[in-house]
Structure 1
Amino acid sequence: MLSVLKRVAPLLIVTIFIISSNNALAQRWEIGGLLGGTNYLGDISKEPTLSKTHIGINLWGRYNISRHFSYRFGAAFGQISGADSLQPATELRGLTFKSNIWELTNIIEFHFRPFGLSHPQNKKSSFYVFTGINAFYFNPKAKFDNTWVSLQPLATEGQNLEGGKGKYSRVSVSIPIGAGYKFKFSPKWILGFEVGYRKTYTDYLDDVSGNYPDLVELRKANGAASVALSDPSSVNAGAGEMRSAKNDMRGDPHLKDWYVFAGITLTYRIEPIYCAFPPKTRRFHNVD
């Protein structure tokens, strides 16, 4: 589960060390962040739903490689959620969820106008696009007996039953795809707006992917909570009377889930720091 983080972290550390080792490049650095909203697209919501928008925060460091390219790394936090009750086509299924998203970002930006490095001919504003590879952690939850419980341990699609495919990992990777606009309103400060979609390689952001399991066997293995949250539409889940049958479609395993960060960005450009050294004095030695 942590293999992705173990691979990404050393790469970021080495990159920062190499770049930071050259003091002459200090003016290439920026620090900043994003404050805005998060949303998601998946089996419970096929498109972002305004009522399910939550606060999202990004913090980052940026290294300007050239006047057009920049490298950005950092961390982000947001929440996503969804409910079948908002869609007439899925209302009867009755599923709902929420999940926090913790993300490590690793992004390359391209500015359409010269903007990155300090230069007399640079523009004060520019549109830009970006992509990269991120690692993130998620943990879908749903309410059972008025308590939010984690869904992955409950194996709501029978992942731990005989013939199941095993519980999914809550650590995954995503490909960020997005665009934004930047405006330099002072020599050191940059204001902007950004929208970034994350194409993930998991179909379980919402704990919904494949087919219903045998709910009787699921109850025996995982208890009543697993059954109630696997099939909330069951008329009498406690008594074992289920509407769904084994292998009935619960989700669409062919489409992976997405999540989105969008908001206002603010960045501070770090100016180089020079240390004053005493002037060198030339020493003369007497030569006999």
Structure 2
Amino acid sequence: MKNIFTYSTAFALGLALVATPEAEAQQFSKRKQYNSVGFSLNAVNYFGDVTPVTNFTSFRLGATRVGAGVSITRRFYPRLSGRFGLSYGRISGDDNLAADQNDPDARYRYNRNMSFRNDMVEASAVAIFDLIENRNNYLKRPDFVPYVFAGVAGFYHNPKGKVGDKAPEGLRPGTYVSLAELKTEGQASAYGKTQFAIPFGGGIRYRINRNFDASLEIGWRKTFTDYLDDVGGKYAPAGSFTTAAQAYFGGGNPDASSRLTPRGGNFADGGGLTRDRTTEFRGFDTPGEIRGDSRNRTDWYIVTGVSLNYILTPRIKNPKFR
């Protein structure tokens, strides 16, 4: 279902964004084009392995974090604009709060007890297609305009785990440790902190006055990594860990080394062993067992924002007389 939604939506948006007829472009003269600069205040969420349900539609409102962004937009045609933006936001997840210990499908993740936070910086370029056209200049633009958008983005991310009170020697409780370099699942090399995404979504724009617009927008980011939360595969093979930090944030692996105790993970409730290593949870974190989503689905993040845009008054060149 997720794949159908993803690719069909992207295809439909792509068709819409390139469907501006040539005649329409010719009728919209360059004198009617204009630029605007904007500032946005955003709410950021993520979908991944540390959410209430490990699918595309799942997120926890309590994990919402605040972000901000700046942008510059160029209106090219009556319906079509291009926008370049820079933004910052934080995502987070917490098994202790997201997973229900009484839900048969979530008890494993509740017992896994992972948590993380990830500060992200994004640069994006998108095409915006207005559902209501404006063939005139910016002064005669409509009051309300719904729109859709799609494009490409690159982002830098750095998932971190918090050191709990029961951490082994060498880790200071209360501090955050970058997880990519630890290779917590025994990877041959650390996953990249710089990644690409496909942003798409929609919004509505409202004209405040001559030069100001306000808009409300929601946009999904389809990424190509499963490690926004540092959880994506299996528990590390025996002997993979050589440091206390690797064993602590790796979330298990009792065969790694007897000196690397306590053997737990990036624990939401302050560190220590997982909640239950008996009954049905016995051995769940042994080397080679599933640590994240068994279907290896990539992570997503979503940005919901309110923005204020200022239209830069176009310079109109007077025609020359001969």
**Which TM-score tier does this pair reach, normalised by the shorter chain?**
0.7 to 0.9
Q: Which residue of 2 aligns with 1:247?
A: 288
Q: Which residue of 2 aligns with 1:163?
A: none
CA shift at 1:275, angstroms?
8.1
Q: Which residue of 2 aligns with 1:225?
A: 245
Hey, what's the Cα distance between the residues in 1 that align with 2:303 and 2:31? 30
Alignment deviations for residues 202-230 of structure 1 (CA, whole Å, 9 cap, x no partner): 1110011110012x51333xx11111111
SS in 2 for 1:71: strand
CA shift at 1:122, angstroms?
4.0
Alignment deviations for residues 235-282 of structure 1 (CA, whole Å, 9 cap, x no partner): x96066994111100112531100111121111111123589xx99x9
CA gap 1:134/1:104 in 2 versus in 1, 3 angstroms: same
Q: Which residue of 1 aligns with 2:205?
A: 182
Hey, what's the Cα distance between the residues in 1 that align with 2:80 and 2:147? 9
The one of 175, 181, 184 aligned to 1:156: 184
CA gap 1:98/1:26 in 2 versus in 1, 3 angstroms: farther
Give the letter aligned to residue 230 of structure 1: G
CA gap 1:207/1:64 in 2 versus in 1, 3 angstroms: same
CA gap 1:178/1:238 in 2 versus in 1, 3 angstroms: same
Hey, what's the Cα distance between the residues in 2 that align with 1:119 and 1:96? 47
- Does residue 37 of the first structure (1) align with residue 37 of the second (2)? no
Please give the TM-score of this superposition, normalised by the length of structure 2.
Answer: 0.71
CA shift at 1:232, angstroms?
6.1
The one of 296, 304, 312 aligned to 1:262: 304
CA RMSD of aligned residues (A): 2.7
Give the letter aligned to residue 137 of structure 2: S
In structure 1, runs of 5+ residues without a counterpart are 1-23, 161-165, 283-288
8 Å contact from structure 2 (residues 35, 75) kept in 1: yes
Q: How does 1:53-92 map to 2 (within 5 A)?
A: 53-86=64-97, 87-88=99-100, 89=106, 90-92=109-111
CA gap 1:115/1:254 in 2 versus in 1, 3 angstroms: farther
8 Å contact from structure 2 (residues 42, 66) kept in 1: yes
In structure 2, runs of 5+ residues without a counterpart are 1-29, 101-105, 164-172, 265-272, 274-282
SS in 1 for 2:305: strand
CA shift at 1:146, angstroms?
2.2
Hey, what's the Cα distance between the residues in 2 that align with 1:117 and 1:137? 39
Please give the TM-score of this superposition, normalised by the length of structure 1.
Answer: 0.79
Hey, what's the Cα distance between the residues in 2 that align with 1:185 and 1:116? 19
SS in 2 for 1:197: strand
CA shift at 1:74, angstroms?
1.7
Alignment deviations for residues 172-193 of structure 1 (CA, whole Å, 9 cap, x no partner): 1100111100011212110110
CA shift at 1:167, angstroms?
1.6
SS in 2 for 1:273: coil
8 Å contact from structure 2 (residues 252, 263) kept in 1: no
SS in 1 for 2:209: coil
CA shift at 1:33, angstroms?
2.2
- Does residue 204 of the first structure (1) align with residue 215 of the second (2)? no
